Structure 1
């Protein structure tokens, strides 16, 4: 007895397989978006004007950090607020992409010990509608990821308050 090829059955199997693949792709898309929001709940920080000041509110992520999408010299970056950092700390491998020039080298004390960094200046830094110019930064070759530490060279130019799970940044 020979098995006959039924084109309708074959097409049906392919349609089921295609439906499973599409369903799996959709699940990956939805869950990757949810995971991204857990890491960075401030992908598009909203701004508001309050009594002549610009205010940006950042929600704490699941790990208790304040992470936000922002811009350095027009390029999108991921900031991690770090009150222990004197300046904005930029991974050295991002310098050319962010149009940052390495200046004088110096030693910096970090959580990972003392490292040699290059001083730099950020022409324009933006979070939401808060824009700062000529911000002190350093290029750190020891930083391997793409997170930029938003240090006190930015925060001292702002008023910042923590309330519950929120960090409120306000122009002075």
Structure 2
């Protein structure tokens, strides 16, 4: 591909405009240095927020639950989860009795959890056969495991396959292998609605 990309051109225009403004104002060297460091600090904070947006979303969800303004509501056997400010759906889930806030991601084929979560929940993995999986941050090595008991409000299932990797950081994801066990799931407005399979008993739910 040849030529400048639109984003590159935009940044050049911004830099030229800033330079022209500085020349017109004739600021001191100290003012210029402080300005450069100030903008660099702002850019650094923005990069950190973008890089850790999933973890930040999980933190906000936890805080909301503690303050009694939870985005996760239960009505009978139906669970409703409001979209968080980061544009994602975060669910409070129990894995083998261990509580975690997990990102619900229909784009993920399989449920994925961090090393810390696997250890806390007592999930053993098959270390003999690592696999390579594609993530938003590139291809990572992971190991297969299984959650004996998972509960999302009244929705419960057993023996759910997962992948575990230290490369996931603090992020835990509920993937399609979980959603496919439900009777139905859909998004209405900014609310994710999860319903059990009505053909199974309340005791086993959608196992």
TM-score w.r.t. the length of structure 1 is 0.71
- Structure 1 gap segments, 5+ residues each: 1-31
**CA RMSD of superposed structures (Å):** 2.6
Question: Aligned partners of 1:95, 1:78: CA distance in 2, in Å?
Answer: 14
Structure 2 match to 1:167: 192
- 2:128 pairs with 1:101: no
Q: Quickly say closer, same or farther: Cα 1:35–1:157, change in 2 above 3 A.
A: closer
Deviation readout 1:45-93 (Å, 9 max, x if unpaired): 33233xxxx2110111111110121100000101111111111110123
Matching residue within 114, 136, 145 for 1:91: 114
Question: Given the alignment, which residue of 155, 172, 186 partners 1:148?
Answer: 172
**Structure with higher RCO (Cα < 8 A, 6+ apart):** 1
Maintained 8 Å contact 2:103/2:173? yes
Q: Is residue 61 of structure 1 aligned with residue 107 of structure 2?
A: no
Q: Which one has the bigger strand percentage? A: 1
Q: Contact conserved, 1:42 with 1:67, CA < 8 A, in 2?
A: no
Cα 1:171–1:152 change in 2 (3 A) is same
Q: Distance in 1 between matches of 2:99 and 2:150?
A: 10
Secondary structure at the aligned position of 1:153 is classed as helix
TM-score between both structures, scaled by the size of structure 2? 0.59
Q: Deviations over 1:125-159 (max 9, x none)?
A: 111110011111010210112x3101011011111
Q: Hey, what's the Cα distance between the residues in 1 that align with 2:133 and 2:61?
A: 36
Give the whole-Å Cα distance in 1 for the aligned partners of 2:86 and 2:107: 17
1-side partners of 2:166 and 2:153: how far apart?
28
- Structure number with the higher helix fraction is 2
Corresponding residue for residue 9 of structure 2: none
Q: Does 1:136 align with 2:161?
A: yes
CA distance in 1, matches of 2:94, 2:157: 11
Deviation at 1:33, TM superposition (A): 8.2
Q: How many residues align?
A: 135
1:42 to partner: Cα distance:
7.8
Find out whether 1:36 has 2:72 as its counterpart. Answer: no
List alignment gaps of at least 5 residues for structure 2. Answer: 1-58, 198-207
